[in-house]
Structure 1
Amino acid sequence: MDFSFTEEQQMLRDSVSRVLDKTYDFKARQILVDSDKPWSAEVWTQFAELGLLALPFSEEAGGLGGSIVDVVAIAESFGDHLLVEPYLSSILLGGQALALSDHDIARDWLAKIIAGEAITAFAHEEARGTPAPEFVTLGAQQSGGNYFLDGGKRLVLNGAEADILVVSARLSGVAGEKPGLALMVVDAKADGIDITSFQTIDGRSAAHIRFDKVQVSAEQLLSADAHALLVTVTNDAIIALCAEAVGIMAALLRATSEYTATRKQFDVPISSFQVIAHRLADMKIAYMKARSSLYYTTALAEAGQATDRDLAVLKGQIGKLGRAIGEAAIQSHGGVGMTDELVIGHYHKRLIAIDKMFGDSEYHFRKIGQISE
């Protein structure tokens, strides 16, 4: 199986890296995170000009017809630079959900999102990572041709800045049942919506959203049988998140190798100490395992052959290996590795956040066992 990128994908990858190298170093990122801005409008405009906002969508939907491999090619750079821009929430989650719908309202909003004129947030998470769509409990009661949302969503990435919310809800049934799930487009400023915004541990903007009998018209219903659609959207997002994590792991390995080669004790680099050399070797092995798992699963997804077990193996491995690499990097840097002024701790926080999304490593390892039974 060929895991190499095509010439066009490598060119895209290099172009994104060059842009971010020039405009998005760690100092600039920290200034942005410490400001009152959720992300850089200038970087988002550059993404639109480069075609990154249109990349994953089909040509029929107004996009460039990119594949999951194209997304992985750029997501590693996103991880390397610790991007806080809403690519995951607005493009890979909310945007993809809109793209998979044939409703006019979905296509109208998608055109604005691709042009960089609007932001959407994916209001799906409810508790403990909402690892599978069937765990959604937010109720949508139908009355007089309309639907009324009553309940809450948690950790909605970029929920406070979104123009529209793509909301997963339950028309019938209870948590754990696949039938009865729906997907809706909701105006973020609709009556009855209460948004509590905050910053996550990894510097991203998020919000808890409360729906108090929020009215949704029948035209805003994207799908009344949305389980399969939600699985497609979240599976692709999981692969993209894992690619971002692999980019972070590569950055941590590189930074730790450079630091231990220059930091001296007893007039010799600490990388010459056996315990440090073994730790670096373990980090490299963990990185190669994570990267191989990512590329293998991406190739399967590109061919339409990735199973639930394949996704669970990938997400479980990335969570476990990412934590191991992050902890090893901090330990190798010593006390300075814990400071806010050094990038190492920020990489580790992002890896922890990625692990918790859509089910942590322990959940996915248990899932593998259940599938194997």
Structure 2
Amino acid sequence: MDFTFTQEQTMLREALSRFLGQHYTFEKRRRIVATPAGQSPEVWGQLRDMGLLALPLPESAGGLGGSIVDVVAVAELLGQHLVVEPWLASAVLSAGLLAKRGETRLPALLEGEATAAFAYEEGSGTADLAQVAMRAAATATGHVLNGEKHLVLGAEAASVLLVTARLPDGRLGLFLVDRDAPGLSLRSYTTIDGRRAAHCRFEDVAAGPDALVDADAEAAVAGAVRAATLALCAEAVGAMGALLEITASYAGTRKQFGVPIGSFQVIAHRLADMKLAYVKARSLLLYTAALAENDAASPRDVSLLKAQVGRLGRALGESAVQIHGGVGMTDELSVGHYLKRILFVDTVFGPSDYHLQRVGAAQPA
């Protein structure tokens, strides 16, 4: 099994890294986060021009036919630069699900003219689709949706929401709902890592016959969530790598008693532990991505990755803040923002404790 990126993937990563390094500085990110939308149409258009919106989609749907390893290769760099644009929610999750159904709104997503948000979470805090309780009652003209969705990333700026709901026969349905549909109300807020999310309430929201994009979506949604989990873990690993580099540089230049603090044994040991945590997390990420590319990644493999990245990422991030001291807690320094991103990633699709339980439950008797 090959754990190295291909020549094409390496070239894409080099181009993306160069673009983000030159045009997506931490200060620019702070300005973007401070805007009402919390994202930049200019940056979104540049990501489109680089082919990143089309990358995760099959060629039959107008995409570039990228693999899960391509997605991981890009997501790692987005995490390294703390990119806040809704690439995961819109291009990977929502567009990926719509591409399999020939949805007519897909071209607008590919062109960057619109974004989509994935609404599935109902307060359980896990990726367990059995927890989806929102109901879609049948009507003469389609369905009516009633219920609530939590932590819908990018909902306020999205054109459409991709919503999971239970059909009258108990199957999981996937509906496409306009963000401004009558009966749909959004309560927007800012997440711990500076992104925008919303609590969505559906009160007799009419969903016509064309709104139901999949009447038996359990397998498709589960597969999309697994792919998104890998991408999220890649973002966290990218953030871990950036934190390690920033902290090692700081320890080598910050002096105390006339010598760099990195020369102190306790700091040196802490940096070594951070390096081990990063190597463990990235190695497991590449291994799991290689399994997924060969259709050999089980739910247990993905849960193991999510649990380890959450646990190791928290340890590395906390060490980075502690080595920086009081300045590590300030909003003007990127260190705290990286830790917040890692902590947020841990909560999406279930925290590390939840996934460790799944790993234990999947152990052979």
Superposed CA offset, 1:8-44 (max 9, x none): 1000001011111111110111111122232111111
User: 1:3 Cα deviation (Å)?
Assistant: 0.8
The amino acid across from 1:134 in the alignment is A
Q: 1:199 aligns with which of 179, 185, 190?
A: 190
Superposed CA offset, 1:155-178 (max 9, x none): 1111111111100111147xxxxx
Aligned to 1:96: 96
1:53 is paired with a residue of what secondary structure?
A: coil
- Percent identity between the two aligned chains: 52
Aligned to 2:37: 37
The amino acid across from 1:268 in the alignment is V
Distance 1:22 1:212 in 2: 46
The answer as to 2:213 corresponding to 1:213 is: no
Distance 1:70 1:152 in 2: 33
Aligned to 2:147: 151
Q: Normalised by the size of structure 1, how large is the TM-score?
A: 0.96
Please, what is the CA RMSD of the aligned residues? 1.1
The amino acid across from 1:354 in the alignment is V
The amino acid across from 2:113 in the alignment is E
Aligned to 2:118: 122
Aligned to 1:70: 70
2:198 is paired with a residue of what secondary structure?
A: strand
Structure 2 residues not aligned, in runs of 5+ = none
1:182 is paired with a residue of what secondary structure?
A: strand
User: 1:79 Cα deviation (Å)?
Assistant: 0.5
How many residues align structurally?
A: 364
Aligned to 1:336: 327
The amino acid across from 2:97 in the alignment is A
The amino acid across from 1:94 in the alignment is S
- Given that residues 134 and 181 in structure 1 are in contact (C-alpha distance below 8 angstroms), is that contact kept between their aligned partners in structure 2? no
User: 1:316 Cα deviation (Å)?
Assistant: 0.5
Aligned to 2:53: 53
1:165-244 maps to which residues of 2 (within 5 A)? 165-172=161-168, 180-244=171-235
User: 1:125 Cα deviation (Å)?
Assistant: 1.3
Distance 2:212 2:150 in 1: 21
2:281 is paired with a residue of what secondary structure?
A: helix
Distance 1:132 1:114 in 2: 29
- Given that residues 201 and 349 in structure 1 are in contact (C-alpha distance below 8 angstroms), is that contact kept between their aligned partners in structure 2? yes
Aligned to 1:354: 345
The amino acid across from 2:49 in the alignment is E
- Given that residues 33 and 39 in structure 2 are in contact (C-alpha distance below 8 angstroms), is that contact kept between their aligned partners in structure 1? yes
Aligned to 2:336: 345
Distance 1:36 1:117 in 2: 18
